[in-house]
A = this chain, B = another copy of it.
Amino acid sequence: MSLTMYTASVPAFVRLLGNLRGILEKAAAHVESRKLEPAALIGFRLYPDMFPLVRQVQIATDMVKGCAARLAGVDVPRYEDSETSFDDLIARIDKTVAFLQGFKPGQIDGSEDKPIQLKSPRGEMNFTGLQYLQGFVLPNAYFHATTAYNILRHNGVELGKQDFIGRP
């Protein structure tokens, strides 16, 4: 396999989300077996002004669906951000993986220099496709997936780094 904008994005995202899905399944089983309140984990923050678990998963999925869509020049699907359970979060991951799997390499390859503009309340960000993928989406996606993992580990869910990294 050669390194292209497609191979550096879609398969890496699908794998990251598949691993995150496995982590959330273990968390759901942990909660179930101990009769815990799922919201205690789903709403948990590592510090009061950090995002809770639910938002970490939402942002990780937003990052990768936005990236594939923008690099391919198609509309970014909007999600409602209404997840309240582990099942909801897993369904969001599955929906995102299905969306990603709809892309063909030819839609994304060659987008290194494509201008990408993001608008947020804090202003505009302008990237090339390569800067956007490498310097924004990948660090953000790994950041939020790792923070989800760390929230769960901090709360005693039995996970190991292998759950996060998976198999190549």
Contacts and interface: CB of A to CB of B under 8 A. Distances in A.
Interface of A: 1-5, 7-8, 11-12, 15-16, 46-47, 50, 112, 127-128, 130-132, 134-136, 138-140, 142-143, 146-147, 149-150, 153-154, 156, 161, 164-168
Contact of A150 (B12, B140, B147): B147
A44 to B, nearest CB: 11
A104 to B, nearest CB: 18
B142 A138 contact: yes
Total identical chains: 2
B130 A47 contact: no
Leading 4 A-B pairs by shortest Cβ distance: A142-B142, A135-B168, A146-B146, A131-B168
Given A127-B168, A130-B2, A135-B168, A153 B112 contact: no
B3 A8 contact: yes
Nearest to A150: B150
Nearest to A111: B3
Contacts of A47: 153-154, 156
Nearest to A160: B49
Nearest to A156: B47
A1 B128 contact: yes
A16 B153 contact: no
B132 A168 contact: yes
Contact of A139 (B5, B147, B165): B165
